[in-house]
Amino acid sequence: MYRAKFTDNTMLDEYDESGKARMFREVLNKQDELEKLEVHLDNGDIFSVDLTKGLFSVTKNEHTMNFYGLPQDFQAQHMLENIRVIYFVRGRVDFTFNKLNNIPEQVEFYALGFQAQTAENKNVQRFLAIQPNGMWDIRDNA
Amino acid sequence: MAVTVTFVEFNGATPEHSQGSGPVVANLNLVNADVRNGVPATYPILAGTNSFAKFVQAQWSGSFTKISNAKLWKSAGAYGTDELIKMSGSYSKITPAITSLPDVGAKAVAAIPTSVPASANVAFAKSAARNTFTTTAGCIPNGSQAASSPGYYSGSRSSTIALQMNTSASTAAGATSTKTFSLSYDRQ
C-alpha cells in the first residue's frame, strides 16, 4: 500500500479506516504539498521518496538505507525544479483465449520516484521498481 | 478491491460503440465465422485462408485512477507451420470477414509481438473517436468512481483490438497449440 505525507503533517493511506481503497487522484490533488510517498509491502519492507530532496529510503528488517536518486554533484550543480511524484503499479494479466473473464492482475512492480526539470530545462526522472517480494532496482525510464 | 481484466467481443456490422459494453465471452477461438464462442470443429479455418477477424476490448475493474501504457503480446505457445496471428491495438471495427485485415492509412496490421513490446501497442478509448486507427497510447481516467463493480460493464476499457489468424496451404490440419497472451499496463 502507499502512504502519502504532506507538508502540513497530514497523511493519506491507500486504504481508509474502513479498508476501502483510496484513489491516487486524491494524492495528486495535493501534489504541491506532497513531501514524501511511501510504499509498504506485505513483508514489512518500506520504500519512500522524499520529494523535497530527491532522496530515496529503503527499510528492510528495520535497517534503513538512504540514497539520492541522482548523483549529489548533479543535484548540486543543477537545481531541480517542478519536482513531481512518479507512482504507478505495473500490472499484468496472462490468459489463453479460453479464460477471459475477471482475469486477476499480477503486480510486476510498484514504481516510486520523481521527475523534475533542471534550471537548464532538462527533464530527469528516477524511480524504484519494487517487486512484491521486496527486490528492487532503480530506473530512469518507464 | 483487486483489479481484474475481462475481454469482451463485438460482432456483426454494427460499430462497437453502438453495441454498449459488449458481451463477455467464454472463449475467443479464431474460427471461420463471425460468432461468439466459436467451436473450431464446427467452423474450422480452411488451410490457406484466414480466420474471421475478431474485435475485442479489454475492460478493467477495480479501484484505480487511470490505466496507461498497455502492451499486448503472445507470451507462450508455438505457432504451427505458416500460422500467424495479426493484431492491432486500435482498429476501427469493420464487418468481420475472412478477408485479411486491411491496412489503414499507412499502418499495416502486424503480427502480434512474441515478446514484451518496447512501447505501448494498445490504445485507449476516450470517446467514439476510439474508432480511429491510431497507435496513440494515452491513458483513460476511471471517471470519478471510487471503486467500480466487478464485471465487464464498469471501469476503464481499451480501444478495440483486432485479431485474426492467417494460415497457408502448408498449415497442418487439426487443432493448433494453445497460446498464452499477456497484457501489461500501468495503473495509478
Helix (H) or strand (E) holding A27: helix A25-28
Distance CA B164, CA A23 (A): 37
Residue-range domain boundaries for chain B? 1-188
Residues 6 or more apart in contact with residue A100 via CB below 8 angstroms: B6, B7, B24, B25, B26, B27, B28
Q: Tell me the percentage of chain A whose pLDDT exceeds 90.
A: 65
* Phi and psi, residue B171, nearest 5°: -65, 130
Q: Is A19 on the interface with B (CB under 8 A)?
A: no
The residue of chain B with its CA nearest to that of A112 is B188
**DSSP classification of residue B122:** B
- Cβ pair A142:B4 closer than 8 A: no
The mean per-residue pLDDT over the stretch A7-14 comes to 95
- Mark A55-74 as b/e (b = at least 16 C-beta within 10 Å): bbbbbeeeeeeeeebbeeee
Residue B76 CB coordination number (10 Å):
13
Distance CA B187, CA B68 (A): 6
- Cβ pair A94:B182 closer than 8 A: yes
- Cβ pair A96:B178 closer than 8 A: yes
Query: Of residues A107 and B92, which shows the higher confidence score?
Result: A107
Task: Give the tens place of pLDDT for each residue, A42-74.
Answer: 999 999 999 988 899 999 998 999 998 887 767
The residue of chain A with its CA nearest to that of B3 is A105
**Please, is A18 exposed, middle or buried when counting C-beta atoms within 10 Å of its C-beta (0-12, 13-18, 19+)?**
exposed
Shortest distance, CA A10 to any CA of chain B (angstroms) = 21
> What is the residue-wise DSSP string for B134-151?
-----EEE-TT-SSPPSS
Kindly report the average pLDDT of chain A as a whole number. 91
User: pLDDT per position in chain B (188 positions), as tens?
Assistant: 688 999 999 999 988 777 777 788 889 999 999 999 999 999 999 999 999 999 998 988 887 888 888 899 999 999 999 999 999 887 878 899 999 888 776 667 889 999 999 888 887 765 444 444 333 334 444 443 333 333 333 457 888 888 999 999 999 888 888 999 999 999 88
Contact B89, B186 (CB under 8 A): no
Q: What residue type is assigned to position A84 of the chain?
A: R
**DSSP classification of residue A74:** H
**Domain of A95?**
2-139
pLDDT number for residue B106: 64
User: ipTM score here?
Assistant: 0.90
Maximum distance among all alpha carbons in chain B?
Answer: 53
Instruction: Provide residues of B within 8 Å CB-CB of chain A.
Output: 1-7, 24-30, 61-65, 68-69, 75, 142, 146-147, 150-152, 178-188
Distance CA A93, CA A103 (A): 7
Shortest distance, CA B129 to any CA of chain A (angstroms) = 25
**Residue owning grid cell 530515496:** A56
- Cβ pair A98:B146 closer than 8 A: no
Q: Measuring CA to CA, which residue among B184, B86, B93 is closest to residue B130?
A: B93
pLDDT number for residue A137: 96
Shortest distance, CA B86 to any CA of chain A (angstroms) = 15
| Number of compact structural domains in chain A | 1
Distance CA A130, CA A126 (A): 13
- Cβ pair A100:B27 closer than 8 A: yes
Q: Radius of gyration over alpha carbons of chain B, in Å?
A: 16
Query: Of residues B184 and A118, which shows the higher confidence score?
Result: B184
- Cβ pair A28:B65 closer than 8 A: yes
Query: Of residues B135 and A19, which shows the higher confidence score?
Result: A19
Query: Of residues A26 and B92, which shows the higher confidence score?
Result: A26
The residues that bridge with B145 in the sheet, in sequence order, are none
Helix (H, G, I), strand (E, B) or coil at A75: helix
Residue B62 CB coordination number (10 Å):
23
Residues 6 or more apart in contact with residue B80 via CB below 8 angstroms: B171, B172, B176, B177
Contacts of A95 in chain B (CB under 8 A): 5, 7, 180-183
Shortest distance, CA A73 to any CA of chain B (angstroms) = 32
Residue B77 CB coordination number (10 Å):
14
User: Cα B125 from chain centroid?
Assistant: 13
Residues 6 or more apart in contact with residue A115 via CB below 8 angstroms: A83, A84, A86, A123, A124, A125
Q: What residue type is assigned to position A139 of the chain?
A: R
Cell of B166: 492467417
